[in-house]
Amino acid sequence: SSEQLNLGDRMFLVLSVDKTVAYVNELIPVTVKLYVNRLNVSDIQLPTFEQESFSKVEFKEPKQYRERLNGLLYEILEFRTSIFGTKAGDYRLGPAEIKCNVMVPKSMPRSAGMMNNFFDDPFSGPGADDFFARYERHPMELKSKDVQLGIQPIPTAGRPQDYMGAVGDYQFIYSANPVKLKVGDPVTLKMDINGTGNFNTVLMPKLEVPNGFKVYEPQVKTEENRKSFTQVLIPETDAVTQLPKVLFTYFDPNARQFKTIDQGPIAIKVEKGKDEAPSQVIGPVPGPALRGQKSDDLGRDIIF
């Protein structure tokens, strides 16, 4: 423990959150800072803390910098992540814990006063063997104070019927390509949702596809601050003239209200496919589009 090493204010851990009150599924930025003053520390592990009723904690690579506090200059490792509460209630987050080794002089009392600088590399100078002859690793488990968090439920008052759980602040872009095509040709719908928030809660907006289209399974791609849904439709008749309107509803925790973005409908022009001879057919048509064709389409079926 730090008492055995008499470290005092030479080495400690601080846990902090950007907000102490949040809604269910709202992202809460978390910071864990390791402060070290003129010590040699090795084998620093990623922070851990209790996460019951919260999402899994995954810390990013730490930042390293210096900061002066109470007249002392500290080397700092700063670990950041974001968590979210999975159910409403009052919780105690933490304490955060970090395991590491402190290099302790063998021939001196276990005091922090004579130790090397935290980030000096003992292998960089002469006498590395001598260093380990004079110093030994002492395991440390540092603990921070905990923090209180209040998690509130998503309001039910004014909740739109199409709300599916998205929490954050988003933009929604809806597009289709091509918009001029022939019966049996694919048209690709793309729904991009970007912004800041908990993308685990972002589901594909409901698409009410009218009759006259063959529908394929959507593809989902998640990136940092962005989630894309791609849906392929194939018109089976030239009677269809548009792609459906789409609504995306989310709860904005900063504005404390539900917001809905509506896009579309998108006008399309579908022409009848020409009954061309096999030698005149250009380009492939997706196989699933052939299902259900009459048996007298056999020649085209083979070409495709």
pLDDT of residue 48 exceeding 90: yes
CA distances from 42 to 105, 110, 183 (A): 14, 17, 67
**What value does the mean pLDDT take over residues 61-83?**
94
**What value does the mean pLDDT take over residues 237-263?**
96
Q: Which pLDDT belongs to residue 5?
A: 57
Of 71, 77, 85, nearest in space to 39 by CA = 77
> 129-179 pLDDT, tens per residue?
565 567 788 899 999 999 999 999 999 999 999 999 999 999 999 999 999
**What value does the mean pLDDT take over residues 15-23?**
97
**What value does the mean pLDDT take over residues 89-102?**
94
Residue 80 has φ and ψ, to the nearest 5°, of: -125, 150
Any idea how long the chain is?
A: 304
pLDDT of residue 122 exceeding 80: no
Of 167, 216, 183, nearest in space to 25 by CA = 167
The secondary structure of the chain, three-state, reads CHHHHCCHHHEEEEEEECCCEEECCCCEEEEEEEEECCCCEECCCCCECCCCCECCCCCCCCEEEEEEECCEEEEEEEEEEEECECCCEEEEECCCEEEEEEEEECCCCCCHHHCCCCCCCCCCCCCHHHHHHHEEEEEEEEECCCEEEEEECCCCCCCCCCCCCCEEEEEEEEEEECCEEECCCCEEEEEEEEEEEEHHHCCCCCCCCCCCEEECCCEEEEECCEEEEEEEEEECCCCCCEECCEEEEEEECCCCEEEEEEECCEECEEECCCCCCHHHCCCCCCHHHHCCCCHHHHHHHHHC
> 279-298 pLDDT, tens per residue?
344 444 444 444 444 444 43
Please give the model's pTM, rounded to 2 decimal places.
Answer: 0.77
Q: Which pLDDT belongs to residue 82?
A: 94
**What value does the mean pLDDT take over residues 184-194?**
96
Arithmetic mean of pLDDT over the chain: 83
Instruction: Kindly indicate the confidence band of residue 6, based on its pLDDT and cuts at 50, 70 and 90.
Output: low
Say which range, 55-69, 86-100, 112-126, has the weakest mean pLDDT.
Answer: 112-126
Of the two residues 237 and 292, the one the predictor is more confident about is 237
Region at 225 (left for phi over 0; alpha for psi -120 to 50; beta for the rest): left
Q: Which pLDDT belongs to residue 220?
A: 97
Q: Which pLDDT belongs to residue 104?
A: 80
pLDDT of residue 119 exceeding 80: no
Instruction: Kindly indicate the confidence band of residue 275, based on its pLDDT and cuts at 50, 70 and 90.
Output: low
Q: Which pLDDT belongs to residue 131?
A: 57
Of 95, 75, 101, nearest in space to 14 by CA = 95
**In the block, residue with structure tokens 């592990």:** 45
Q: Percent of the chain at pLDDT above 90?
A: 66
Q: Percent of the chain at pLDDT above 70?
A: 79
Instruction: Kindly indicate the confidence band of residue 103, based on its pLDDT and cuts at 50, 70 and 90.
Output: confident
Q: How far apart are the C-alpha atoms of 61 and 46, rounded to whole Å?
A: 9
Q: Which pLDDT belongs to residue 178?
A: 96
